Amino acid sequence: GWKDAINTTIINFNNEKMQITWATRELFPNENVSFLYTFDEGKHKVWKPCTTYLLDQDYNSGCLFKTEGPTLAISIRNSNGSEELYSKKFKADFYIKPNRPENVTFFWKEDTVTVSCNKPERAAWCLRLELQYKSKFDKHWQSRTSKCCSVAEQGFDPRKCYSFRVRLRRLVPHCNILNYSSDWEAETFWRNGTLLDSCDDDITSQSNTIIILSCSLAVLLMMVILLILLCKWQRVQMSVLPAVPDPKYLFADLFNDHNGNLQEWLDKNDHVVLQTKLEYEEPESITEAESQQEDGKNSDKQGPLEKNFTFSGAAENNDGKAAEIACLIPTPNTMASFAGIHILRNDDMYVML
């Protein structure tokens, strides 16, 4: 009974060649067995010895011979052939492994790809054409199977590069006992109907795109952060160092129109000085100035309580340069008088003439 338990591997290559192999080291240790086969049926069989042995460490482990019929009988015997160690009879057509697809063509139409190959001469109805594809960014193959010998698949991105491979499969159990498929046809690379040498450029372009986008986002983020910091710095600067109005703009016409002649500017712009005083003095300062003016009138007999700066008629006759340029730095809460016009100045204000 142990003879029937021996496992053998049977492959019929496209119904052209038979390959029978066995585990010689486990089944027949230290013995070089012989192999015989026949395709004849009936009582009068003609056994043929194997002419092409497959070896495993110098021991016969299989035989390769031509397929000559649908039914095959095999016999494994000892080295001189006097004792049969194993025998089996089976249908050779149930162990067919098809050849690779021949003349594979690709037809592209928009996002649909149709793959076809030549139709085998024998038992084409037992075969199925299997298509597998993936892009360089896919981890696993996508598979599609159809009747021999054309298969179509849609949904391809024209911007991506895809790898394709095809093979023929034998139907189980209608045509084969074992699920034998052909070897894969050579892998090809396509992008939108154009045959390429490889898809390596696709990975490079994708990497460059990612780098460009990352750099752009980083620059944009830095610009936003700088704008936020700039706005906050301006607020801090305004709160810590408030802007002081420059008084030179109030007296721009003194130098532009009158060439620094103070008396001429005062005579012509008395109303402008009064208007400027009302605009830039705080209400408390105005009230304080009025009260101080009244106190000044009442205390003329008792003595001056304030420092009055006047330009007398004699001052007008002084040197021209001294009359044109004069610097007045009033003390805190002092009254400055220009041609009969009284202007109150506190310690936060100054005049440059």
Looking at 65, 97, 129, the residue that finishes a domain is 97
64 and 21 in one domain? yes
Sign, Cα dihedral of 248, 249, 254, 260: positive
pLDDT over 50 (residue 83): yes
pLDDT over 50 (residue 145): yes
Enclosing domain of residue 85: 8-97
Give pLDDT, residue 24: 81
| CATH code: domain of residue 55 | 2.60.40.10
80 and 51 in one domain? yes
CA distance 299 to 336: 17
pLDDT over 70 (residue 338): no
Residue 219 lies in a domain: yes
Q: Among 54-63, 110-119, 265-274, whose mean pLDDT is lowest?
A: 265-274
How buried is 279 (Cβ within 10 angstroms: 0-12 exposed, 13-18 middle, 19+ buried)?
exposed
212 and 178 in one domain? no
pLDDT over 70 (residue 351): no
Residue 278 lies in a domain: no
115 and 43 in one domain? no
Stronger pLDDT, 129 or 316, i.e. the higher one:
129
12 and 93 in one domain? yes
171 and 92 in one domain? no
pLDDT over 90 for what percent of the chain?
35
60 and 125 in one domain? no
Are the C-beta atoms of residues 74 and 4 closer than 8 Å to each other? no
Give pLDDT, residue 316: 45
Residue 276 lies in a domain: no
pLDDT over 90 (residue 167): yes
pLDDT over 90 (residue 182): yes
124 and 71 in one domain? no
Stronger pLDDT, 46 or 273, i.e. the higher one:
46
Average pLDDT of the residues in 230-242:
71
Give pLDDT, residue 352: 47
Give pLDDT, residue 254: 67
Residue 283 lies in a domain: no
Give pLDDT, residue 314: 41
78 and 24 in one domain? yes
Please tell me the pTM assigned to this model: 0.55
Tell me the pLDDT band of 245, cut-offs 50, 70 and 90. low
Q: H/E element holding 275?
A: helix 270-280
What confidence tens digit (pLDDT) does each residue in 1-56 have? Answer: 445 557 889 999 999 999 999 988 788 888 889 999 999 887 788 999 999 999 98
Average pLDDT of the residues in 155-171:
92
Residue 303 lies in a domain: no
> Which parts of 128-269 fold into alpha helices (H)?
200-240, 252-256, 262-268
187 and 145 in one domain? yes
Residue 306 lies in a domain: no
87 and 111 in one domain? no
Q: Among 89-103, 108-122, 220-234, 246-260, whose mean pLDDT is lowest?
A: 246-260
Average pLDDT of the residues in 204-232:
78
Average pLDDT of the residues in 269-276:
57
Looking at 97, 114, 137, the residue that finishes a domain is 97
Looking at 97, 125, 157, the residue that finishes a domain is 97
130 and 79 in one domain? no
CA distance 283 to 185: 97
Residue 16 lies in a domain: yes
Tell me the pLDDT band of 168, cut-offs 50, 70 and 90. very high
Return the top range by mean pLDDT from 2-11, 145-154, 281-290. Answer: 145-154
Stronger pLDDT, 6 or 293, i.e. the higher one:
6
Q: Among 125-134, 207-216, 240-249, whose mean pLDDT is lowest?
A: 240-249
Give pLDDT, residue 267: 75
Residue 311 lies in a domain: no
How many structural domains is the chain composed of? 3
Q: How far is CA 248 from the centre of its chain?
A: 58
pLDDT over 70 for what percent of the chain?
65
Phi and psi of 162, rounded to 5°?
Answer: -120, 145
How buried is 207 (Cβ within 10 angstroms: 0-12 exposed, 13-18 middle, 19+ buried)?
exposed
